[in-house]
Structure 1
Amino acid sequence: MALFTDIDARISALRDLFGDDVEIDDLSSRMMAFSGDKLVEAVTAVSALVRCVERVGIVGAGITAARSTRQAGRDGLAAGRGHRTPAALVQDITGLTHADAQRQVRIGLSILDSEAAEDAGGHDGASSPSVGTPSAGTSRARVPWHTPLATAMLSGQISVSQQDAIQGGLGHPIDDTDHTHDVWSAAAEQLAAEARERTVEELRIQARAIRDQLDPEGAERRFTERYNRRSFRTWVDADGRECGRIEFEDDGAAWMRAIRDAALRPRRGGPRFVDSAEAKRAEDLTADQRTNDQLSYDLLIDLLRAGALADAKDVFGGRQPGVRVVKVHDGSGVPVSARTEDYGFSVPLASADQRICESGTVNVTVDVRGNPLDVGRESRLFTTAQRVALAIRDGGCRWRGCDRPASYCEAHHIDEWAADDGRTDIERGILLCRHHHMQLHHGGWRITRHGSDDFHLHPPGGKHPVTLRPRVALTAAWAGIDPPPKRFREDAA
């Protein structure tokens, strides 16, 4: 659909919802009268309209930057209007933050680069290979690796924020060979295809995880750089308040998240507690009048006070925090990568080996799709080892659009234990956060799976099921992106 035809269609949909016109002073009262379905329809139509119009602004920001180069000097578009940079001009026009204006310029320029290469007869590679699958290649004229993202954004498949998260997370390819270009492009395509099912924050994490798998040497270097930047400093501000700032390295950040999550998980939507004492502690925490930030601060101070003599149950109840690292081995048993169980952050193998010395290992064997082996109908509840295996396979809540990590999730049997002779094995289990687990049981939803294929979420009322695809970073970790996803456009002639 042509751009302005699409915009007209979106405006027409809004007119159908609101009537011919509405005074701005009546907007709130008019929408308050909407039913739930009509309200969602209106917000969806507005979001689609904003995306349509935003594309014009993004391309305009790119052209503004292209006409404001240093070579143009004072004759450049931005300098000629009294602005030091094109982002400053965009910010002045739009009222955006400086960071958002820079993002518009950055993405606009990437779109222009892709279109210029295509207009010059560039190619995007002979074929789109699996991520991590080696193939020889030599440099040739081609479109930029991020062209699938520009195409997806301009077609409305992904938003500007999603494109920026994916492109920034994947970073720059490690070299200029055809193979590297094609692999990065394949990863961009796959992440763009998954964007509808992931939050922007998780897309960024997934893109970074894939980048570290594609560039292990760079991952090691970035790990070391973050370690060398670790710092903690305090200062007194003008009002006499003692302030502090911490820049974490990866291991410290993982521990801090684990400590915070263990203490605040009941309040932030973590799994329900079976033990009555734990349930009471969770209720007390939920009713606590302190904000989450205040609770986090008090927790940190308590830990500092207690130090090495702290009794874990006094601070955390029955769920002591910890950071579990998963090592991935190839068919011969050689370790090829490692990552944290929660959030899936990449960990250098040397750091993983150090963690093993401290805490040991849990061995989980998986197939090429990341499915752990069947362990049978042993008990009503999933064991600790089974939950680790589910965390490795699912990476967190599998509900579409949810980014809750594995530690916030409960293991759900897709077969009812008594009625369906449900088996407590991982093939028939799936991780869901507490909110979505309760929604499943009380809202008429159900999940099905045929063998080791994808899970399918069936909405109430017989609506079309939704495929709960695995996170793409995990797919790349186990078997790469194979076969490659369908292209957005054919190779240029």
Structure 2
Amino acid sequence: MAKASIFESLADGVRERVSAAVPVVESQTAAVSALSDSDLVATAQDLEALGRHVDALRVRVAGEIDARSDREGSGRANEDRLSVRFDCANAVEVLERATLVSVREARSRIRLDRRTRERTTLTGVQRPAEYPAVAAALHDGAIGVETAHYLTDEFERLERRGGVSHDEKETGEREIIEAAVTGFSDADCSSDEVLPQTFDEFRVMVGAWAEFLTRDGVEPDAELAARFRGIRLGRARDGLVPLSGSLMPEAAAGLQRLFDAHRGSSPRFSTMPEHAAEGDAWGDEMIVDPRTVPQIRHDVFVSMIQTAAASSDAPSLGGAAPTLVVTVSADDLDGGVADIEGVDIPVPASVAHRIACTGAVQKVVFDQAGRIIDLGARERLFSAHQRRAIGVRDGGC
């Protein structure tokens, strides 16, 4: 049999076996409740073993799609690349459309395969995988993708820091995987060695090796911290925009001090009417703050943004102080929606009322064609006394 036909038959066999496995496991969820306790635990173990093989195959397939879609690595003409043939921009889009997984999951699978597949150089020389021990254990179904991801991510982080011996890193990878495979596969192991029996114990082992590998490396310093500093605004979801990032030590300390200062200066009201100024709000009730600590930090952060924007030292934007712009039509003021400049999230019109309560407002009226037909002066709708009274009445502005 010719070499090409052998590979074709092997390829057909892979697809046939995968397709045949689907009806074997489908529609089994209804029978789970009838299992005994011991059978239930044993089934969990068997399913996990099956899942590891399936996940390894999914990673390998995603990586092969990536390799055949790569402009340089595939060796194919542009029009022959896999992604182009399926009218997609890249391998991630192919996976996204073919499997309905998220972009994040598609990238995760491709990233892991790049670290665990053999590579061919431009001269045709076959090179081993970047993480050979992880690759062997993953493809044998001895470890899962979560374990493989965690170890390779941690070692990649060590590589970025620098100062790690290549030989010691290889030794660490091999020792960790051997311990993980033995520990995960034999819960009754009576060896005197400390083997990980849970994923958390595996993480501890990886952390111990990381400390060992960086014992002579470069300690985190200002230059390293400056390289990885950053703040990111994520994609809006459920009406919220996620905020994440890494702060320099002095920035984190300053932010914590501001949190402490704002939390330590909570609003207070006069307890006796004779102590209150004329027209000022007063009350003798203890006001209970229903907010959680993260919610308080969020509101403190909003106050800090507003204070910074109102500061005379703040840089101007278009010749004026950086001002939050909220657009809402007159018809939508009651129960409609509003738009906040800079964020692509429609918000309830009540947000416009809340912002009006806490800051200055400038009325801008548009006609049906979008032309400005009236521009009012900036004015503050509520005095400080009125705002405090609203806070007492409503439990917050």
TM-score, with length taken from structure 2: 0.44
Larger Rg: 2
TM-score, with length taken from structure 1: 0.37
